[in-house]
Structure formats: C-alpha cells, structure tokens
Structure 1
Amino acid sequence: MKQLRHRLLGNLRRQLAVGVAVLVALIMTLFILETSSRQENFAIEQHRVRSVALARSIAASAALWVAARDFAGLQEIVDGLADYPGLQHAIIVDLRGQILAHNEPDKRGLYLDDLPPRPAAAVLRQTRLAVDLATPILLQDKSVGWLRLGISDPALAGEISRIRRDGLLYTLFAILLASAFATLGARYLTRRLHAIQRVADAVQRGDTQTRVELAGSDEAARLGDAVNAMLDALASRAEELRGSETRHATILDNVSACIYLKDIEGRYLYANRPVRELFKCSLDELVGNDDSRFFDAATVEQIRQNDARALRDGETIRTEEDNVDLLSGRHTIYWTVKLPLRDERGNIYALCGISTDISERKQAELLLARHKETLEAEVRQRTFDLSQARDAAEAASRAKSTFLANMSHELRTPMNAIMGMTGVLLRRSHDPALKEQLGKIDQASRHLLHVINDILDLSKIEANRLEIARAPFRLGGVLENVCSLIGQRAASKGLRLVSEAAPELTRREFLGDALRLEQILLNFAGNAVKFTEHGEVRIKVEALAARDDMARLRFAVIDTGIGISPEAQQRLFTAFEQADNSTTRKYGGTGLGLAISKRLIEMMDGQFGVDSTPGVGSTFWFSVDLETGAPGVDAAPKALEAPEEKLRQRHQRARILLAEDEPINREVSLALLEDAALAVDVAEDGEQALALAGKNAYALILMDIQMPKMNGLDATRAIRRLPQHAQTPILAMTANAFDEDRQTCLAAGMNDHISKPIDPDRLFATLLRWLPEDAETPPQT
C-alpha cells in the first residue's frame, strides 16, 4: 500500500495528474449517473402513463356491464387482457369492494379492502418495473365500481440495463480522457516547478549559491524570483548571524564567570573561554564530553544532582558548588545559576549554567566572621565597661544630689540661726549703735545667703535637678518685685530706676515661671546698679511678636555704667567670670549670676545677649516665648498692711505646734511666733509632735523635716491619721529647699513649704494664708 501510494503521489506531477484525473472522473461519473437516472425515471414514467391510459380505456368499456352486473361480460373483458404483455392482474369490483371479475376466476366474489377512499385514479404501489393502480368506473360521471390493474414491462428492464451499461462505458472513457489531459497538464505545470525544486534540493544539501532560472512572468517565474530573494536574504542573515555569534562568543569569552551549555545527557555543547582555560582544552575538544573528564567523583555527583534538579523541575536554581578539578586538584567554590532551555514547543532541550568563583569572597567572609566574633567580644567587654561606668556615673550623680541636698540643709540651717537671731535682736533692740551693727550683720548674712543660693542653683542646673515651672502670673507684678528689691540700692547710689512696659503687657496674664524671670531680671538689674555710678538703670519690656495664645517678649536692662570691652563680653556668661576680674576687688561678686541666668534662659528656649560700649553703658537682654491668657484690669491701689500686724489682729493667741530639733532655730522661730501674738507648743522631735497632736487641738502645725527619732514626713503621715487633725494645716519649715523636697512634703500630706533661712514677712504671710479665719485659742485638752 505504501509503495502504491508513493507511485501514485510520489511527486507534485503525479499528485496533480491523479488529482485532476480523479476530479474529472468524479464529475463525469456524477454527470453520467444523473443522466442515466433521468432516462430510467423517464422510462418508468412512460410505463405508468401507458398503464393509466389502458386502465381508463378498460374502465370506460366496462361501465355498462358493471351497472347491469353482467358478470359474464365483465369476465370476458378481463379475459381479453390475458394476452396483454406484462399483465399481472386485472380485477373489476363494485363499490363495496366485491370482485365482479378477476383474471383468476376462482377469486370472483371475494372482497378487496385497500381501495382509495375517493373515486379518483390512484397508483397504489409502484416499483421500477411494475405499477399497481386503481381506476374508478364511471357511468354518467357517477362511480359504479373500480378497475384494479397491475402491469409490468419486461422491455423496461432491458432498457434500464442498456442505459446503465452505456453510462459505465461513458464513465470509463471520461476517466481515461481526464487522466490523459491531467498528465499532459501536470507535466506542463510541474516542468517549471522542477527548476525551483532543484534549487530547494541544492539548499538542502548545503549549497546556498544555486538560484532559480525561469523566464516569463507567470506564477512559477514569480515564485522563482521569491525563492531567489529568500535565499539572498537567508545568505545575508546567515552572515549577520555568524557575525553576531562571533560578537557573542567574544563577549562571553571576556566574561569572568564560567558560562556553558549542556544537553539533557550532561554533555557539553558550548563553553566560554574561562571554562576552556580551566579545563585546558579547546571548544572542539570540550564539546561532547561530560563532567567526569574534568572533575573528581564527588564534584561530578554534586554537579549531576544540581543539573538533574534544574531539568526535572524546569526552574532556575541557585546554589553553591564545591569543585575539585582533576588537572590541578584545586578546590574552588562557585556560586552557580542553572536554568533549563526550552524550544518553541516548551520542551527542555538543554541546560545553561553560569558559575562565578567566590572562593576569595568566602575566605573574606570567614575572616570577617572571625573578626566579627572578636569585635562582638570586644563590644561585650566594652558594653560591660560602659555599664560599669554608667553605674559609677549614676552613683556619682546620686552622691552629687545627696551632697547638694545635704549642703543645702547644712548651710541653710546655720544661716537660719544667724539671720533669725539677728532679726530677733533687731526687732527687740532700741540701742541705735547696736541696731546699726546688727544691720551690718544682717546685710552680710543676706549677701552670704545670696552667694549660697547662686552656688546651689548652678549645682542644681548642672545636676538636672532644676525645673521650669508653668503657672499664671502678671508681668506687672514681676517688674514691681524687681524694682522694690533693688530700688533702695539704686536710690542709695543716687541712680534713677525706671521700668518701661506697655500697660496691656503689665495687665496681661502669662503662663510661665515668674520666679525665674524675676531671678534673671534681678541678676541683670543688680549688676547694672553695681557697675553704674551715675545716671539711670532702665528695665524695658516689649512684645516682638504676639498671637492670641503666644507672645515673644524681649526684656532689656539698660544702664549708663562703666561698660564692657568686646573681648570681655566673650567671658561674661561663664561661671565665676566677670568682665574684668580686677573689678572684683572694687565691686565684689562671684560671677555666678550671669551664668545662672544664661542656663535659665536656655531652659526656657530663649535667646540672650549683651550690647556694651566702655565708658557709655551696657544693655543686657533676653527674649522668651510665653503663653498668654486673658488681659487683666489694673486693681485699684490699696494700702499695704504688714503681714505680722494682720496676723496679730486676726489670729491673736491662736494655738499652733512648732516641731524643731535645732535649739537656736527653735528659739528664733519661737520668738517670731510669740512676737505675732500666737500661742506656741514646742516639740523637739517627731515623736513629741505626734504625742502633742494626739492630746491637743491646733489651728496649724509647723513641721521641720530632719529630726531625730521620727522625721517630719513620718510624723505628718501619723498626724494625718488622727481624726482631729485630718484637715489641720501642716506647713514644712525646713532647710531642704529643692523643688523635689517641696513635692515630697506635699505628697506626705503637708499643705505648704517654707524654706530656711526663715524670712519673717514670708512666714507671717504664709501663716495668714493657712490659718482658719475663726482660729482662736483652742481649749487645752
């Protein structure tokens, strides 16, 4: 069968000849079959027509006999048809279907049940050679019976056979004619195609220089031209491809990584120069070999597993490979990327590998890891050392805080005794010379207290123990306090002291630390008075910028004093420095005021500076941002009354408890309280204070903090647990003057804090604020 198909369809000429022959034969066969079928149908139709005409003729002649029911006449008509060619049956029946005459007489009298329902001629059955029809017998257009006639035509079968035989002959003749025509046409058409086929065969053999040579402009000639153009393009493309391959090979050969291709069996198809140099062979020597020729067994097994994984999973893999080549025994670590290559149908046909030598990097990583371990050990040791240093620093800070607290207490306690006793003597002495001497002692004590406060303030700032408060105040009150505190000193030197501020500023309420603002202004104004011999000292406040909720205020203290040289201005705000240290002998001072002021301004996020001309004067200024409140209204002036006199008038003989362990301080406090006409019980420690509070009712309790047996904080907590003293005002009166000391006192249940040395006016004002309005001498219990 295969050889027959090759003989018939082995080339285009045969295919064309066979195709045309089959097509023509098929068309002619269909035509002849159609013609034969038409002739057969025509012959059969003619036989039917003749049969219908015969039936009508017999039916017309038998009408009277049927009406007369003359069976003998009807049988005679039927018998007369016995010699008719092809007669199968002739039957005459009445309307009921009873057989009146039959070509088989013994069937007369039987009935037929397949007659048409209506009196019209009808073909009951018809084959190709016979027809069975029923014709109504009419008498004066009225049906009186039926004629059933079956006729075949023996000659028709011969006619049909002849028609079919002629058709077959004509078909064979048409096939032969079509084959001959197709062969001649195919030979003509394929003769020009053979020229193209010969070029195609040459290209298949590798000859790309042969070209199609066909004259004319028909389709074959144009096809030949197209083939020649395609071959020219392929030749050009092949040349470009060879150039591209050369360039790619050059690029790949100059890449430091090893790049190679393998087939699915692991045999090398290509490798760039680093691979060839590693294996010390040419590309021709390399292609076709697998890794077993170049690496040891362990390396080969590792490579095969990685190759198989990439080919099996069909995905790119990235891994490290430890390779040992057979030639040098050199151990190399590669970072390898392997990816499968697929054809246009998606089938994997090769493997591409890219391997980069990372041996030096791995060695560096190993050294780095070792170095990291060393560094981590050093860091751990350093961290431990820093932790130790931090603990030591924190211990030093705690020691410094403890030292500051102890120093504050130890310095203020004797100062309270000195200043308090001096004040008591001044209040009770009537000798002018003695009062003058006591006044000098008081002035020197206050100067010493100022120095102590400056040193403690600076120490608190450096220890981060000082905080900026945020409380409402009026600027006018701050300026009044400053002017009142330095006014007498300015007047004693004949200086004019001026305060300048817009009324809307002095009345407005601000949020900030009024005490620290006052301290800065006192430092600036005090220095101005100190270094000014004639003229004036002016305190000026102005708003640089203002919003509804914030204002930037600039404070300036302007004097007409000795001035400061530009060189000396650089040292002004340094602790223990003055413009000219030689002036210390003339004017005195520690040089701490400006340093403390600078730190306070910085804590308020403000700015500061100095403008000065020697011999003309100086301007010390600073600016801060303050939150603003509602503008106030100037209060109507009213006469000032001394707090001591108010206390004597309102709370004479009010009973209070004084807890103080230091004898001199106890004596000073007792003298001040008795001068204010108060009834005082004295306790020398916390236990005595608790015992007295348990037995007596007091309008107010003054409590020292550092006392033997029971300190003031514990005593306060215990007194608060006594029902009769749950609401009694308890005021701390202590040399511990830090803000945290005040907060500790309040947390223990105290109501207020009075720092030592005791200022009599401040003591009396605080007592006025906390003594109940109805405080009288309570009964003894």
Structure 2
Amino acid sequence: MHNKAGFFNISIYKILSKEQPFLDQARIRLLYYGFFLVFVACGALLVSVYFQGQMMLARTSVFLMVTVAVLFKALTYRPRWYLISHILLIVGTLVNASIVYISLQSINIITVQVVIIVIAFSYYMVGQKWGLIYSLLNTLPVLLFLIIEYRYNYVIWIKPDNIDEATKMISLFANFIILIYIHSHFYNAFIKNIKQLKKSAKEQAVLNVQLARAIEKSEKSAYAKSEFLSTMSHEIRTPLNAVIGMSNLLMMSSPRPEQKENLEILKSSANNLLAIVNDVLDFNKIEAGKLEFESIRFDLTEMMNNICGGQILIAEQKGLQFKLTIDEVLKNKSFFGDPTRLTQIIFNLINNAVKFTERGSINVMVTCLEDRHNTITVNFLVKDTGIGIDEEKLNSIFEPFTQESLATTRKYSGTGLGLAIVKRLLNMQGLKINLSSKVGVGSVFSFNMEFPVSTETVIENAGLQAENAEGVGLKFLKLLIAEDNMVNVMLMKKLLSKWEITPTIAENGERAVEFMQYGNFDIILMDLQMPVMNGFDAANEIRKMADPKKSRIPIIALTASAMADIRDRISEAGMNDYVSKPFKPDELIEKIQTYVAVA
C-alpha cells in the first residue's frame, strides 16, 4: 500500500519505493511504459482496420485499448504488478485465440509475433511456472489450428477479416517495438541487479568481517567478565570464609550468652554479605544458563530454622513480630532436593519481607499440601505487613535490578536482584511464584514445590555426626590440605582440632604433589587458586601417579570461585567433589567421612 498514490495519480514515482526489490521496480516500469506502447500500437491499428471496414479487428483493438487504460489506472493507484500481469496475460491469450480462430481464421507472422510477446512477457513478469503455463496456452491452440487446417480445412460461419499490407506493416512494426522494449528493459534490469548483488556481496563481506570482530570482542568481553567475577568471588569469599569460620569456631566453644548474641549478629551480618555476593554471582550463572540443581538429602525443618535465625534478630531489632510455622507432618523427614537453591529462594523472600516492613509482623509458613508417602508437595508462604507493591508494578518487580520505585531503592537499598533470582530459580524448575499485594497493607509471596522423601527419620542433632567423628576414627585420619592463605590454614587447623585431626599443610599445588610422592594420606582438601601450581594441575599430576593407592586418593576441592563451569572443571581435573567457601563445618566433615569410608 502506497499512501502517496491516490486514485487520480498517473505518476510512476508515487508507486515506486526503495523498499521494493530492484526487479519488482523493473517490472512496474515495464508495465507503466509498456501500457503506453501497447495503447499507441492498438490506436494505430484501430485507425487502419476501421477505415478498411474490418470491424472484428477494430472491436478487438478497442477492447485492448480499454483494457490497457483500466489496468494502467489500476497500476498507478495500487501497484499490484503481479495481479495486473496475470490479467494482462489472460486477456492477451484470449485475444490471440480469437484472432486465430475468429477474426483472421489463419496464422501469419503477426499472430506468431503476438505469441512470442506473450511468452517473453509471461516469463519475465510472473516467473517460470506461470510462464510455462501461459506459453502452452498460447502455442497449443495455434498448433491445433494448423493441424485442423491441414487435415480438414478450417471453416466456420463467420467471415474472416482481410488485412492489407499497410495494416501488416503497422502490426509488425508495433510488435517489434514491444519485443525490443521488453528484452532491452529486462536485460538492463538484470545487469543492474547483478551489479547491485555484487555491491551487496562486498558490503556483506565487510559486515561479516565486522560481525566476526564484534563476536570475538563479545566473547573476549564475556570471558573477561567471567574471569573478573571468578576473581572477585575468590577475593570476597576468602575473607568471608575466615569471618564465618571463626564465628562458627567461637560458637562451638560454649561462649557466654552475651558473647553468643554478638557472635550471632556477626555471623548473620557475614551471611547477609555472602548472600548479596551470591545473588550477583548466581544471577550471572542463571543468565548464562549454566546453573545446575542438586538432589541431595536435607532436613527441611533445620534448613528453615537456619534461614530464619538471622532474620529473626533483624526483625526483633526493628520491633517486628516474626513467626515461623512448620507443619508437624514435615518434621523429622529426610527430603531430597537442592537445599542451597531452596535456601536462596526462601532467604530472598524473607529478607525482602523484613527489609520492607516498618511495623507489624512477618509470618513464614511451611505447609504440607499432599503426602504421597515417598513424595510430598510443600507450600512455602511469606507474609508481611510492609509497604506493599502497586498493582502496576507487580510484574516488573521480578525484573533484575528493579525495585518498586527510586524512592524505595534510596530508602531500603539492596541490589534489586532478589526477586529476579527467585523467579528464575523457580521457572528453571517449572514452578511459579504467586504474589498478592496491596500498598500500605502488605504482601504475600508463595510457591509450591514437590520433594522426594525418605521414610527414614532424620537425626535431630545435625552436629552429632561431627561430634562423634572420633567414633569412626577421624582422629587417626591422614589429611593433606593444599592452601596458600594463612588465615584459612589457621581456620582449618582450629576447626579440624575439634575432631582431633592434625592435617599436613602444603602452601601450593607443587608442594602438595611432592607430599603425595613421599608420603601417605587418606584424603586431600585442595584449594584451586594457588601460586606456583594451581589445584587443577596438582590434581592432574596426582591422578597420573604410578601407585594406584595414591592416584585414586579422594580429593575434595575448596573453592571460592563463582565460574559457571566450575563443577565441570573440577570433574575434568579428576577431583571427587567440592565444598564452596565459606563452608559449613558439618558439610565439610560429612564429605570427609563419606569419601574416607568409600576409600
């Protein structure tokens, strides 16, 4: 549709546009100027046959002139060249058949020329398929007429027109002009199109080079971003490991009540900082599609108490009531899933509720919706009496780096990643977050999740395993730690001394390989980023040792890295498992016990 071309338009420039393909523009020009030539030719032919009294040919000429005029008007109003070409070819086919069978009742050079014009025009305008169809529709009737005339002498009741030499000359001249125009026009169009294609090819080649450079630059940028995040993760998590680890050690040393409260606040603040770091790093993993979910055993009740422990202190400091309700059916059951990601989801929801509530209460409810013996569907609900969310913002609130308003961001701070991560983590598991909220009243977030469960009863004291480590002979364990950070070394020694384990320390990967060559160990805790030789290379060297006992020693990686492919890299290096820094003492000792028992 061309807005410039009105009904009374006769200009070709108003029906052409740069958006049209070059050959389409050429076809429109062919029709536009070709109609003029055909109209003039038919007019000259009309004058010649009319004065000779050849009325059938005169009527045919008038019909063609009217048809050409109507189609010309249609073209200049709406340039639907494909439809107009078909109409013109149908008219030409019918006119050609009427001239052969009715008007002249013979075949001469004029009728042959008309057939040639139709054939050439059809192939150029409507393509090979229709060109072949129109060619057959024009040549077969002519061939059939020749056969009939040869065998039976064609005779009908209508008397044919007889044309003189002047009329033949006019017809031949007009036909030659039209044929020359058609071929000349399209030859020129094809040459220009080829030049344009060559030019486009050169431009495309330049664009391809630029695109390749842009892709290479993007890949380098992505790699640099990944390396930066990995480095930042390591540099931030390493001191956090010491802060949280020392807090754990001090809390295990029976502190006084006021000391325990201070340690709880210290640990809670460190965990909050760790949660922020994890949000940024995990969001990068989610966006890269590299995040994977585990399926390990965990105690849902213990997990919820751990999540809410630090948040209860913050809520009480703000004068808020905090209530955690866990369905009795869910207690003392062993669940299977990814407690790390589930913790991340629930922590972000509760943290938001506490952050955006100035007065009132926070209610966290964990309810059993359906118990099918070996699977349980659980509903997690976080309800607050906070500032609420405007209805128009309910969808955008789950977008990354977004909060309800700029004023909200300034007042309550935060990364704006919490709810974005919650939604994406749930979506990746085929789950949906439900939200209802009213400004000034509060918000309710909830979601359902199905877990496989074990019929075994959970041991209520999670630290029992660690405390009874001596019972399984851990104090005689020969443990090698490859770690270059002296604070972490001190922390590990103090932690392991709780279970009467005296480790051997290697300050880098090369020293760890040397210790393995000349000594015997039961298990290795391997830091990944170390000077001289990193943990990956050290693990590879150990796996190549000739002594099968040494080459198959369990190796647990200690990593503060956040790279999306860290799990794959650890596996490729031949290490058995990994523990992320800052690690939980119970998690570390449990993995040590597991691999020592297997070995």
The TM tier, using the shorter chain, reads 0.5 to 0.7
Is the partner of 1:405 in helix, strand or coil?
Answer: helix
Q: Tell me, yes or no, if the aligned pair for 2:333 and 2:458 is still in contact at 8 Å.
A: no
TM-score of the pair, normalised by structure 2: 0.64
Q: Tell me, yes or no, if the aligned pair for 1:563 and 1:615 is still in contact at 8 Å.
A: yes
TM-score of the pair, normalised by structure 1: 0.51
Letter in 1 for 2:364: R
The offset of 1:361, in angstroms, is 4.2
1:469 aligns with 2:293: yes
Match of 1:647 in 2: 469
Aligned mates of 2:237, 2:197 — CA distance in 1: 57
Alpha-carbon distance change, 423 to 505 in structure 1, aligned in 2, over 3 angstroms: closer
Aligned mates of 1:438, 1:508 — CA distance in 2: 30
The offset of 1:461, in angstroms, is 2.9
Aligned mates of 1:247, 1:551 — CA distance in 2: 89
2:423 pairs, out of 595, 598, 618, with: 598
Match of 2:594 in 1: 769
Match of 1:718 in 2: 541
Match of 1:387 in 2: 212
Q: If each structure's strand is expressed as a fraction of its own residues, which one has the higher value?
A: 1
The offset of 1:688, in angstroms, is 1.3
Aligned mates of 1:675, 1:551 — CA distance in 2: 37
Structure 2 counterparts to residues 274-673 of structure 1, below 5 A: 338=139, 340=143, 341-344=145-148, 357=179, 358-359=182-183, 360-424=185-249, 440-462=265-287, 464=288, 466-469=290-293, 471=295, 477-478=299-300, 480-487=302-309, 489-490=311-312, 493=316, 495-499=321-325, 503=329, 513-532=338-357, 533-540=359-366, 555-566=380-391, 569=394, 572-579=397-404, 589-622=414-447, 632-633=454-455, 635=457, 638-650=460-472, 651-673=474-496
Q: Tell me, yes or no, if the aligned pair for 2:368 and 2:376 is still in contact at 8 Å.
A: no
1:694 pairs, out of 496, 511, 517, with: 517
1:728 aligns with 2:532: no
Alpha-carbon distance change, 369 to 432 in structure 1, aligned in 2, over 3 angstroms: same
Aligned mates of 2:59, 2:95 — CA distance in 1: 18
The offset of 1:683, in angstroms, is 0.9
The offset of 1:433, in angstroms, is 7.3
Aligned mates of 2:230, 2:236 — CA distance in 1: 10
Alpha-carbon distance change, 348 to 261 in structure 1, aligned in 2, over 3 angstroms: farther
Alpha-carbon distance change, 502 to 657 in structure 1, aligned in 2, over 3 angstroms: closer
Alpha-carbon distance change, 516 to 425 in structure 1, aligned in 2, over 3 angstroms: closer
Alpha-carbon distance change, 259 to 420 in structure 1, aligned in 2, over 3 angstroms: closer
Alpha-carbon distance change, 757 to 560 in structure 1, aligned in 2, over 3 angstroms: same
Aligned mates of 2:352, 2:109 — CA distance in 1: 98
Q: Tell me, yes or no, if the aligned pair for 2:516 and 2:542 is still in contact at 8 Å.
A: yes
Q: Tell me, yes or no, if the aligned pair for 1:643 and 1:768 is still in contact at 8 Å.
A: no
Aligned mates of 1:424, 1:707 — CA distance in 2: 25
Aligned mates of 1:663, 1:260 — CA distance in 2: 98
Is the partner of 1:749 in helix, strand or coil?
Answer: coil
The offset of 1:750, in angstroms, is 1.3
What percentage of aligned pairs have identical amino acids? 30
Structure 1, gaps ≥5 residues long: 1-241, 263-268, 274-282, 292-302, 311-316, 322-334, 776-781
Q: Tell me, yes or no, if the aligned pair for 2:265 and 2:310 is still in contact at 8 Å.
A: no
Alpha-carbon distance change, 509 to 254 in structure 1, aligned in 2, over 3 angstroms: farther
Alpha-carbon distance change, 320 to 648 in structure 1, aligned in 2, over 3 angstroms: same
Match of 1:230 in 2: none
Letter in 2 for 1:376: A
Alpha-carbon distance change, 716 to 259 in structure 1, aligned in 2, over 3 angstroms: closer
Aligned mates of 1:759, 1:638 — CA distance in 2: 17
Cα distance per residue 1:733-760 (max 9 Å; x no partner): 1222445212211222211101112332
Q: Tell me, yes or no, if the aligned pair for 1:422 and 1:438 is still in contact at 8 Å.
A: yes
Structure 2, gaps ≥5 residues long: 1-53, 68-87, 123-134, 155-171
Letter in 2 for 1:497: K
1:703 aligns with 2:529: no
Q: Tell me, yes or no, if the aligned pair for 1:479 and 1:499 is still in contact at 8 Å.
A: no
Letter in 1 for 2:146: R
Count of matched residue positions in the alignment of Structure 1 and Structure 2: 475
Q: Tell me, yes or no, if the aligned pair for 1:486 and 1:526 is still in contact at 8 Å.
A: no
